[in-house]
Amino acid sequence: MRIGILTGGGDCPGLNAVIRAVVRKAISQKDEVIGIRNGWRGLLEKKTMPLDLESVSGILPKGGTIIGTSRTNPYKTEGGVDLVKKNYAQLKLDALVAIGGEDTLGVATKLSQEGLKIVGAPKTIDNDLSATDFTFGFDTAVNIVTECIDRLHTTAESHNRVMVVEVMGRHAGWIAAYSGIAGGADYILVPEIPIDVEEVCSSIKKRHQRGKDFSIVVVAEGAAFKKGDLALQDKELDEFGHVRLGGIGNKLGELIEKKTGFETRVTVLGHIQRGGTPTAFDRVLGTRFGVRVYELIKEAKFGKMVSLRGNKIVDVELKEATGELKTLDMKLYDLAKIFFG
């Protein structure tokens, strides 16, 4: 068989583990794998690269993706879908592996329904993809953020400051909640619950009243104030209808300092959360996903996505995975609230 593989949307640690697993498994069965460069754009422009044992050697601990990525949406390009189908045929693909989040796999779902033989693997540091307990990339992001919070604790305590840490999380507060709990944050703010500034400031004041001279506040980039809009870097939409978020940390920091009188500093972690070496968990999960993706192809189970349920790798319908976002489990947030203030 001739199998294509692409990675779309934001990069994240663990992508190369999936690519490596698919290639290693396929070559052991005498099948051929080619990389589609830069996500769906590669199928529009018919840009590919061969993937063999040499090309995937040493990539397991490497972040990012060796075949590149983009936020290209064929359904937003004039004639894009027909061009994808044409190039799929001209490349003589027997199957395509799409690795991505809601946007990339949303396109995969539609193309699969139109007859292309596609299987998917779930990737997003936000962990907001339905039908899987965890996506690879999430664990690495949480570990990075937790380490940063640990480092901010010491400088906050030394200067008697409030530290606001802005983390990723457009629609779901998984990163904020997990890293906030692990890092001992004194308040966690997520997109699922509007920010009550008075409540946050009251909590910080209570800490100071009992002798704590510093506080750590973790806020997801998609969190919004009560009766307020999202904080945006700009209002321009990408091809999937998303705006660029950013700035909630700075707005929140200004309000906290004004209302409490305590010196406040803001740290925006941004793309640091996406970069670098994947954790052991993400390497293993990516490897398991990659092997199972290949098995789905050999079993002719197209229109499916691999998924982690408990500790088992199972397969689900692509449309189930992309039907709706998986927002934060509020039981986890209730757990976090025990330690607020």
Mind telling me the catalytic residues? 126
Q: Kind of pairing, strands 244-245 and 232-234?
A: antiparallel
* Both structure tokens of 266: 């803001």
Token pair listed for 114:
């139109």
Strand order in the sheet with 187-189: 187-189, 215-220, 162-167, 264-268
Question: Helices H, strands E: what count in the chain?
Answer: 11, 13
Q: Are 20 and 59 in contact (CB under 8 A)?
A: yes
Question: How many Å from the N-terminal Cα to the C-terminal Cα in the chain?
Answer: 58
The burial of 34, by beta-carbon neighbours within 10 Å (0-12 exposed, 13-18 middle, 19 or more buried), is given as: buried
Say if strands 162-167 and 215-220 run parallel, antiparallel, or are unpaired. Answer: parallel
Q: Any idea how long the chain is?
A: 341
Identify whether the C-beta of residue 170 lies closer than 8 Å to the C-beta of residue 245: yes
Q: What is the rounded distance in angstroms from the CA atom of residue 268 to the CA atom of residue 165?
A: 6
> What's the token pair of residue 181?
């709990």
- Tell me how far the alpha carbon of residue 258 is from its chain's centroid: 33
Residue type, 311: N
Token pair for 306: 């691999």
H/E run at residue 167? strand 162-167
- The CA-atom distances, in angstroms, between 125 and each of 1, 21, 39, 95, 278 are 31, 20, 17, 26, 11
Q: Of 172, 128, 134, 104, whose CA–CA distance to 14 is shortest?
A: 134
As a whole number of angstroms, the distance between CA 106 and CA 111 comes to: 9
